[in-house]
Structure 1
């Protein structure tokens, strides 16, 4: 009998002396006409894992699309086509995002200074409140230089006047008007009153010269405001009707400057 070290006992022993059993090739044994230990046939569509090694991946029947490692990222598009772009060069200016258009402010200021000037209706319909706020603060600041603290009267009279003009113009016009448009136009047309207040710092407005200057400022403001309202609301041949309540409102502001 050959020893275990000489591999004489069993040809299936490995070099360490252990037995190897090939379960994959085992066909079982026959006892009483019945076969035991035979492996069950694999279902259709599956591969034999024993031929691929322990832990192998099964092969699918349908081929898979290979993964290329690409990640879907949004494509940057130009702002001209109305698409997204992450470039700072395509970002709109901050003043434009805030709704402040210096071109429209310049046009409406020129229209106030020159009531006979033709104004673009789009500039009038741009109801920005930057210009009216600046002119209202200028009106109060000029009164403050003359020794009059009248900020409460300015905001109170201005608010009541805007409300009254809004109700009146909604009754007179066919299209209607918004409150922001009323505030914007009346605020811009306050510019001649600011000039009158600066004149009050130099001379007294309670004499003949002051009375004439106050009447000119009232007529200037009311003519400019009525022209802007008629242009914005397409109220043909109704400028005098709109100018009358505007003159009453700016007449109250003139009293703050005189007294």
Structure 2
């Protein structure tokens, strides 16, 4: 049957009657190929029982080994992570806290701050070996901010004098101690012990320290800072009966910060 005959059958209805088989010739130049339809028995298909069970599924990827643009590979159908069976270490709960990733230990910061505020407090020597610089940096910024509120922009002097004092104390402690000490530990302890000087700079915002009361507060702040620093060095480095020898250079360092605060 040619293409024109098939077109006539579609226009005039059942012109072909109950014919059980037919062929479809697409040999014209418009198509360039011949298509043969298989025979189909309409009476048998009408009397056949309906199929049982679920409809069969077709595997579209079994017939082609190489994925193409129209039949992509099975990687697109790959299932994502199962929330009921998560991969170990792939959960948000298993990730460490942000402060721990940044190397900031709030527990150690609190313990060192309480030790500076109460020099008579017993401190674990292991905590003093921690080279934590978050607390000293915060105290230096607070000290400079209070001086700025008093009309003194001294950030450069604070960092310069602090660096020179830390290097000097580092050399002195390595000569006096048998175990030795790292520069990070020296910077951490001297930075934490700057807290009383920060409080003195805060008082200077409210009132002048160039009187009798100001001199007494300044002397008390210097003694507080030097006593706290020397006690921490002695405890951390096991330097028995050497606290007065360490308190003197610490007092000289914190006296320079007191001069910046007053004048």
Q: TM-score, normalised by structure 2?
A: 0.66
Aligned to 2:105: 101
For structure 2, which runs of at least 5 residues remain unmatched after alignment?
1-84
- CA deviation string 1:59-102 (max 9, x = no partner): xxxxxxxxxxxxxxxxx99989xxxxx22222221211221110
**Correspondence 1:187 to 2:191:** yes
For structure 1, which runs of at least 5 residues remain unmatched after alignment?
1-75, 81-85
- Cα separation, partners in 2 of 1:136 and 1:89, compared to 1, 3 Å: same
Determine which of 164, 176, 179 is the counterpart of 1:175.
179
Distance 2:203 2:97 in 1: 38
Which ranges of 4 or more aligned residues in structure 1 deviate by more than 2 Å? 76-80
Determine which of 148, 156, 165 is the counterpart of 2:169.
165
Determine which of 232, 236, 240 is the counterpart of 1:236.
240
Between structure 1 and structure 2, the one with the greater Rg is 1
Residue 109 (structure 1) shift = 0.2
- Cα separation, partners in 2 of 1:248 and 1:78, compared to 1, 3 Å: farther
Aligned residues: 179
Aligned to 2:229: 225
Distance 2:99 2:262 in 1: 37
User: What SS is found at the alignment partner of 1:180?
Assistant: helix
What CA RMSD, in Å, does the superposition of the two structures yield over aligned residues?
1.8
- Cα separation, partners in 2 of 1:78 and 1:229, compared to 1, 3 Å: farther
Aligned to 1:143: 147
- Cα separation, partners in 2 of 1:77 and 1:172, compared to 1, 3 Å: farther
Q: TM-score, normalised by structure 1?
A: 0.67
Distance 2:138 2:124 in 1: 22
- Cα separation, partners in 2 of 1:100 and 1:205, compared to 1, 3 Å: same
- CA deviation string 1:171-212 (max 9, x = no partner): 000110000001100100000001101111122111110110
Distance 1:135 1:170 in 2: 26
